[in-house]
């Protein structure tokens, strides 16, 4: 999910708070993106620190006072974790015993005149630092408070500073109340759109890759010995990918996606030794990246309409084949990226009941090639036949046939390669000495991440199945 910073004090300044103030506030703001049953169970003790732990697991970083918020946004390693911000207006400056190691608060109290004056509009201070000093998009910040009595003072602060008021989903309300459920949900819906989910998944994936040891780097196994990558090159590669998609969604995002695919696949140019490996059975998925590199280099228009789902698929495959580590469970970045497929995924039970049509996909591509060759008058336009699926797909692209420009076909072929590199074809000699092409069975359930990808991309791989 998109990640949020939420600065909220749960009416800490009031002597008498409702018994359910924490769970009800979380529900009123983020209820539309959280599971209600899980929310009730996790917050049944009505403890704000339980709420912090629970929300952090959901990508919502809750800060309970001004000092906590300042320590977060002034730390670049923390700020990079978030995409959007929800701000209360008034809030405690700090909690008892909390250390202000860098003396953030004294200078602000002096600037605002008193601790009480700062407390009443502390959200304004966070907003201006984010927007003016840190360049955070103001459309990514929402004021949402129970204390509407401070809205007039907040508006005056913006007017006096000659700053345009903040933006919300409602043009008539720059500051929302907790009960403005429709407006809050509309803003959240924009915040969790596919672009921002993809961006967050890529960032988290790159940060995860940079945390892995040199020993887990498998990519050199695909390379001629003299062309291996240095560890410093690996780190640089992932730093480039991590910072590739801007925080503001660009109007030309499809062009950005195409450039991202080119950068993502760049290192696969020299990968010449892709073959099955008993120690790493998913190594054959490297053909997806090798073909992606070849295709975008020689016919980049194939990726001019690439959507978030295709980018996420290629990114997940890339990380899994570049590294070899024992943990095949779903990683956090994969959980984020797989959310992009939620509306079309099969359940685990549905996938288990499916007879995966790898033979049909294989024969369909072979027949497309043969039909195309029969229809051509000039031998120069013929497509060379091959035995393996990834080679057949690549030969279409190497040809001069008009099929090489079919974006939908090649997008489907990339998804199908997930199945047809792991379920490789082989020739079986029958009792009557006739030959039959069969396919190896592959146990996707043995590797949880492969099972999740499989059920997520099934309909994109076999749209008529």
Give me the long-range contacts of 145-148 (CB less than 8 A, separation at least 24): 145/87, 145/88, 145/89, 145/90, 145/175, 145/176, 145/177, 145/178, 146/11, 146/25, 146/88, 146/177, 146/178, 147/11, 147/88, 147/89, 147/90, 148/175, 148/177
To 5 degrees, how large is the angle CA 329–CA 335–CA 336?
Answer: 155
The predicted pLDDT at position 425 comes to 86
If you ran DSSP here, which 8-state letter would residue 144 be given?
E
Specify whether the backbone of 276 is left (phi greater than 0), alpha (psi in -120 to 50) or beta.
beta
Q: Which pair of structure tokens corresponds to residue 464?
A: 């008529």
Kindly state the helix (H) or strand (E) to which residue 439 belongs, with its residue range. strand 435-439
Q: Which pair of structure tokens corresponds to residue 139?
A: 């459309």
Asked if 336 and 204 touch (Cβ cutoff 8 Å), the reply is yes
- pLDDT tens-digit profile of 216-266? 999 999 988 766 677 888 899 999 999 999 999 999 999 999 999 999 999
The predicted pLDDT at position 122 comes to 94
Q: What are phi and psi of 199, to 5 degrees?
A: -60, -45
pTM over 0.85: yes
* Residues comprising the chain, all counted: 465
How far apart CA 26 and CA 55 sit, in angstroms, is 9
pLDDT bucket at 327, cuts 50 / 70 / 90: confident
Max Cα–Cα distance, the chain, nearest Å: 96
pLDDT at 338 over 70: yes
Q: Which pair of structure tokens corresponds to residue 298?
A: 């020689």
The predicted pLDDT at position 380 comes to 60
The predicted pLDDT at position 226 comes to 63
pLDDT at 465 over 80: no
Residue 328, CA distances (Å) to 57, 288, 302, 449, 450 in order: 20, 19, 31, 6, 8
The predicted pLDDT at position 58 comes to 95
pLDDT at 379 over 70: no
Measured in whole angstroms, how far is the alpha carbon of residue 167 from the centre of its chain?
25
- pLDDT tens-digit profile of 256-306? 999 999 999 999 998 989 999 988 989 999 999 999 999 999 999 999 999
How large is the average pLDDT for residues 106-120?
94
How far apart CA 219 and CA 77 sit, in angstroms, is 28
If you ran DSSP here, which 8-state letter would residue 217 be given?
B
The predicted pLDDT at position 42 comes to 93
């Amino acid at each position: 999910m998109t990640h949020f910073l939420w600065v909220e004090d749960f009416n800490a300044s009031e002597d008498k708070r409702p018994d359910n103030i924490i769970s009800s506030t979380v529900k009123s703001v983020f209820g539309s993106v959280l599971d209600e049953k899980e929310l009730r169970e996790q917050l049944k003790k009505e403890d704000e620190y339980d709420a912090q732990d629970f929300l952090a697991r959901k990508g919502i970083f809750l800060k309970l006072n001004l000092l906590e918020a300042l320590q977060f946004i002034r730390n670049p390693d923390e700020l990079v974790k978030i995409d959007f911000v929800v701000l209360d207006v008034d809030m405690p400056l700090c909690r008892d015993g909390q250390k202000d190691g860098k003396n953030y608060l004294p200078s602000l109290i002096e600037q605002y005149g008193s601790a009480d004056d700062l407390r009443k509009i502390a959200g304004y201070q966070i907003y201006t630092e984010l927007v003016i000093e840190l360049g955070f998009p103001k459309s990514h910040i929402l004021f949402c408070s129970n204390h509407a009595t401070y809205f007039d003072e907040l508006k005056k602060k913006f007017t006096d500073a000659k700053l345009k008021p903040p933006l919300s989903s409602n043009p008539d309300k720059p500051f929302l109340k907790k009960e403005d459920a429709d407006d809050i949900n509309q803003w959240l819906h924009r915040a969790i759109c596919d672009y921002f989910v993809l961006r967050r998944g890529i960032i988290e994936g790159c940060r995860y890759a940079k945390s892995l040891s040199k020993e887990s780097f498998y990519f050199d196994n695909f390379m001629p010995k003299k062309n291996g990558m240095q560890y410093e090159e690996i780190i640089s590669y992932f730093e480039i990918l991590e910072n590739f998609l801007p925080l503001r969604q660009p109007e030309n995002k499809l062009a950005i996606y195409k450039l991202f695919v080119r950068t993502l696949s760049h290192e696969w140019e020299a990968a010449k030794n892709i073959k099955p490996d008993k120690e790493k059975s998913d190594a054959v998925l490297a053909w997806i990246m090798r073909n992606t590199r070849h295709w975008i280099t020689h016919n980049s228009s194939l990726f001019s309409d690439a959507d978030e789902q295709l980018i996420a698929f290629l990114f997940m495959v890339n990380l899994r084949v570049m590294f070899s580590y024992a943990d095949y469970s779903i990683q956090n970045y994969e959980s984020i990226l797989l959310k992009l497929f939620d509306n079309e995924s099969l359940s685990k039970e549905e996938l288990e009941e499916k007879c995966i049509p790898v033979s049909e996909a294989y024969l369909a591509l072979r027949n497309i090639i043969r039909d195309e060759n029969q229809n051509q008058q000039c031998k120069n336009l013929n497509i060379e036949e091959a035995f393996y699926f990834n080679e057949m797909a690549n030969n279409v692209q190497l040809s001069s046939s008009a099929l090489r420009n079919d974006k939908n076909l090649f997008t489907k072929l990339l998804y199908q390669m997930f199945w047809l590199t792991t379920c490789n074809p082989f020739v079986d000699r029958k009792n009557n000495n006739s030959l039959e092409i069969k396919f190896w069975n592959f146990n996707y359930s043995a590797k949880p991440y492969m099972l999740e990808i499989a059920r997520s991309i099934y309909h994109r791989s076999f749209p008529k199945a």
